[in-house]
Chains A and B, each alone.
Chain A
């Protein structure tokens, strides 16, 4: 089962919810895998205390031009939608950071002068954390603009017989879409401010358009924020938990520690989130396509 923890706005507490939900489920005796898809800024490993046993370089395909066979006809550069190939007299140049690896240039080249090489864009690290949690994350190389191919490869490491807790990148653009594309449950973490609400609205729209099941966790809760309550009611969204605002939570987070160990009062909230996860997995079991840990 795949549970994605996401939020439009950064810093609402995605990682806090993901890590503590993983802790809670592991303590319930479930097989848990933590998958950190925030490949631009991966942090989950600090909290899960992951010891890595494997480092796998992640590659994308990059065209290579055989200048001997190339007639500088310009077909490839005129067809490439990403301006990743430029024809110069006697030389056809590739711009790796612009290339999407679509392979169209290979198809259009009349002299078959283009082949493909692999190009490293980051690494995937796999290992184990506390409580027998299996851990995997991707680390995008600094200077690489496109995280999506790496996110795809990180998700391929998912173990079908585990509850996969997937930490999504912030934002609501293509990398978020990629992360939630096959989620069984999307937990949206928000905060009761105009910022949190604005970004939540967009995330809900994307997740609904993708046909995902959604529930909402309100973090840094400090009393009713009417506009948020109104929106949730209108869209018939379930509030699974409200985590009270507390400076101590921020302090525990700052050290990379586990909230539920340091402040046991929060366990009740996570038992509601875990219950929602179990409820969704029940639904899955009864659906013909369901795969259950």
Chain B
């Protein structure tokens, strides 16, 4: 089993568009969308949901006003300023630690498990499976939801004898990215030749070094800026990652997106589509060596 995770550090470099393109080219795989608080992959895949699961994780405090004696103990021990002066719990601020319910002398604080989101198994037109999730707006425990998505994808891959899991990762370097990279087999960095793209690539490369992951780089919109494109190439060399290829800036990409299509489907003959197919061949070869 090989799990390929696509990350970028910076948002909006083209992770999801790239992953969706790879999805049209790789055979016999399971797809996973680990960008759980802004999950977009399925907008391109249009998979039909065949399974839905609740994602319950952590707890939220609630105060029963009938029993509360307004002693202030909970407000004293709460470090997240989640309890108001009139003893209401702010669900967004509450981290679910339980200090308030421990301190409460009357047992007025209940501590129910929290529903943080849902995750889904979908079936695409090509009869392949995709796992994706929806974190409830503003909810916590997104890293654990990522783990649930990946676990489900692995389960399905094993059941169906699929050899590849293709994962669309989240932006940044925080908990969701850490949860996406832990135990993966290969990482693809999608970057862009901008001052921010280069800076963010460095940080996410550093993070993946923690996991000793092999990986390679794709430079998207590569002709936007020659000097930063060169700097991206230099980074690859310096950090010991291969360059899979460069995709030129293509205005048709945004047109394709508006119709919820990949560029390969929308404009199969443009230079960007050529570059993407070349990258696929290189990536496929690289995976055989793992």
Contacts and interface: CB of A to CB of B under 8 A. Distances in A.
Say whether A associates with B.
Answer: yes
A82 B79 CA distance: 15
Contact of B40 (A9, A143, A173): A9
Given A81-B96, A81-B98, A198-B43, 13 more contacts: A9-B40, A10-B13, A40-B172, A40-B173, A46-B196, A172-B137, A173-B37, A175-B174, A198-B38, A202-B37, A209-B138, A220-B254, A254-B194
Contacts of A199: 38, 40
Given A10-B12, A209-B137, A102 B254 contact: no
Chain B: interface secondary structure? loop
Nearest to B12: A11
B137 A206 contact: yes
B138 A195 contact: no
Interface string B18-60: 0000000000000000011111100100000000000000110
A171 B138 CA distance: 9
A244 to B, nearest CB: 12
Contacts of A43: 10, 195-196, 199-200
Interface string B74-101: 0001011000000000001101111100
A250 B37 CA distance: 26
A181 B12 CA distance: 24
Interface string A91-121: 0000000001111100110000000000000
Contacts of B258: 192-194, 225
Interface of A: 8-12, 15, 40-41, 43, 46, 79, 81-82, 100-104, 107-108, 140, 142-147, 169-177, 181, 191-195, 198-199, 202, 205-206, 209-210, 220, 222, 225, 245, 247, 250-251, 253-256
B68 to A, nearest CB: 19
B11 A170 contact: yes
B102 A108 contact: yes
Contact of A100 (B11, B95, B210): B95
Contact of A172 (B37, B99, B140, B173): B37
A104 B254 CA distance: 50
Contact of A205 (B137, B203, B221, B260): B137
A104 B37 contact: no
Among B138, B249, B254, find the residue whose CB has the most chain A CB atoms closer than 10 A: B138
Nearest to A9: B38
22 contacts: A11-B11, A12-B12, A40-B173, A41-B203, A46-B195, A101-B79, A142-B210, A143-B178, A143-B207, A146-B174, A146-B175, A170-B172, A176-B138, A192-B258, A194-B257, A206-B137, A209-B138, A210-B92, A250-B224, A254-B192, A254-B193, A254-B197
Contact of B251 (A10, A100, A225, A247): A247
Chain A: interface secondary structure? loop
Given A10-B11, A143-B210, A146-B174, A173 B139 contact: yes
Nearest to B135: A173
A177 B194 contact: no
B171 interface: yes
Given A10-B11, A144-B174, A209-B138, A102 B195 contact: no
Contacts of A191: 254
Given A79-B102, A102-B79, A255-B195, A177 B92 contact: yes
A39 to B, nearest CB: 9
A280 B98 CA distance: 38
